[in-house]
Chain A
Amino acid sequence: MSAQQRAREEILARMRRALDGAGEAPEPPREYRRSLDPDVDITAMLVDRLVDYKANVHYGLNSIAAALGEAKRVVVPADLPAEWRLGAAEFAPDTGLSTADLDRMDAVLTGCAAAVAVSGTIMLDTGAAQGRRAITLVPDHHVVVVRPEQIVGHLAEALPMLDRTAPQTWISGPSATSDIELQRVEGVHGPRRLDVVLL
């Protein structure tokens, strides 16, 4: 047996010894909510929560150009819908750009997998129109397009929409820290500007 196997066997044996006679734990009660009340306007709530966490919100396809603002070079996933490429920026499809290339981009434009109203969370799972993780991380400005059917009220409704074993990034507002006197300050290592376009 290798040292590694020995460690594994010993830890498992310790666990079993520790649990000797412990029996089974009861089935967990799940009486919590899995959705919001039907009368809640989830789009309005999503907007409210996004703005509360300092994201900018825009409406309609044509607002993409405004959301991109001054950005000159914009990286996009190779499968981004062509009709989203709006405005004067130069769009660079990600065909395996180097980190240095990504670092020269002013912004990134992507879609998403789901958006959760109650917490203002945009979820990416590297699926359609989202690209790999690095492209939404290195540029300082992220513009993300949300389709109406991607908006759900509750986290429990969003999880089944994700590709569970794909790399995921759940985003709630721009990069922030509360490390100094527990005051939330926007803007550290991730994109410091987050614009959300609701179709």
Chain B
Amino acid sequence: MTDLATHVFTGLGVLFFLAGSVGFLRFPDIFSRLHALTKADNLGLGFIALGVAFQAGSWRQVALLALIWALVLLAAGTVSQLVARHALRERDGR
């Protein structure tokens, strides 16, 4: 049962990473590509962490997985703003 949950959730996670990568390759400009990377990869990692959590042996491992996801979420939200801001400045020649 827990193995099934792991398969389902990590599978979903891989699908979102795949979709994010496809968006990164197909989308026309840097800003649209950032949408794909931040939003899809956030879900990809979230689902993979959720799937792996079903294999965890202790509460601490679950908390560590949650912490990893939360930190990546924080980093993705911050870094995408910085990249977008820089790209906009460069485009506007400032």
> Do A and B bind?
no
Residues of A in contact with B (beta carbons under 8 Å apart): none
Residues of B in contact with A (beta carbons under 8 Å apart): none
